[in-house]
Amino acid sequence: MNMIPDWQWNEIQQIGTDYSNLSQVEIYDNRMASFRDVNAENQEMLQMLGLAAGSAVLEIGCGTGRFARYAAAAGLAVTAIDVSKIMLDYVVKKAKDENLPPITTRHSGFLTMDFPDASFDAVVSGAALHHLPDVWKLVALRNIARILKPQGQFILRDVVFSLKENEQPKDCFDRFIASFNEQVRPNAIGHIKTEYSTYDWIMEGLIKMAGFRIISKTNPFESFFVYHCIRIGDK
């Protein structure tokens, strides 16, 4: 295992919602199901990846493991990591209850994961990278490029802000908040206030700087982007 330098961002600390608390985990799972069609998202991701059965896929920031479990059921060899141990226990229990093939779990994150180089055919991450400030996002993205095989694929889904012409950041934040129903709006406000979502031009620059080519970029919801990327080069 690599030594963690003392200047490294402590990614195990929870920012925003505390996902190390079991009651929050269950609330989170129900909240997501109330405004997202998670199965449709998962199906779309598997279609984008077009991987053969048995391919090695890593989900980073797996949360309750909705993608990890879906991909395991589809025959992929899934590893799921999260900085919340409670989330990982939840994934393992759910996979067992659902009689799925085993999912390998590891208590680590974007910065601390130490898989060998070129371990995975694909990496997927949803609504997790925004937990890191921008300087650390680049370190995380480079770590993802490192553990992917050459030409390996990466799908990033996250809250990313995009300013329309002549807009101020506040206009963009107001649009984001207004896109949620009243029940979820406090979470949207908390997201802007305490988490580290960035702007689209910064995110694209970071992805490219880390050694990826963006092959598609979509914007399925307000202030939410899906980047499908390919690792370029052989490093």
104-107: strand order across its sheet:
104-107, 77-82, 56-60, 120-126, 148-159, 224-231, 212-221
Give the pair of three-digit tokens for residue 23. Answer: 């009651």
CB of 142 to ligand SAM, least distance (A): 14
Residue of 49, 100, 121, 126 that binds ligand SAM (CB under 6 A): 126
Q: How far apart are CA 15 and CA 11, in angstroms?
A: 9
Q: Is residue 128 part of the contact set for ligand SAM (CB under 6 A)? A: yes
Query: H/E element holding 105?
Result: strand 104-107
Is residue 63 close enough to count as binding ligand SAM by CB under 6 A?
yes
Q: Which of residues 31-50 bind ligand SAM (CB under 6 A)?
A: 32
Phi, psi of 66 (to 5 degrees): -65, -40
Out of 109, 147, 148, 206, the only residue in the binding site for ligand SAM (CB under 6 A) is 109
CA distances from 36 to 28, 43, 147, 221, 235 (A): 12, 13, 30, 10, 36
Query: Which residue of 110, 115, 173, 224 would you call a contact of ligand SAM, by CB under 6 A?
Result: 110
Of 45, 51, 55, 61, the one binding ligand SAM (CB under 6 A) is 61
Residue 127 or 160: which CB sits closer to ligand SAM?
127
Gap between the Cα atoms of 216 and 38, Å rounded: 20
Measured from the CB atom, the residue of 73 and 163 that comes closer to ligand SAM is: 73
- Rounded to a whole number of angstroms, the minimum distance from the CB of residue 132 to ligand SAM is 6
CA–chain centroid gap for 218, Å, is 15
Q: Is 152 in the site for ligand SAM (CB under 6 A)?
A: no
Asked if 135 contacts 142 with a C-beta cutoff of 8 angstroms, the reply is no
Does 19 engage in binding with ligand SAM (CB under 6 A)?
yes
Segment near ligand SAM (CB under 6 A); pick from 50-58, 121-129, 159-167, 225-233: 121-129
For ligand SAM (CB under 6 A), the number of binding residues is: 19
For residue 158, state whether it binds ligand SAM (rule: CB under 6 A). Answer: no
Rounded to an integer, what distance in angstroms lies between the CA atom of residue 70 and that of residue 54?
14
From residue 10, how far is each of 2, 62, 84, 135 by CA, in Å? 15, 18, 13, 13
| 87 makes contact with ligand SAM (CB under 6 A) | yes
Binding site for ligand SAM (CB under 6 A): 11, 19, 32, 60-63, 66, 82-84, 87, 109-110, 126-128, 131-132
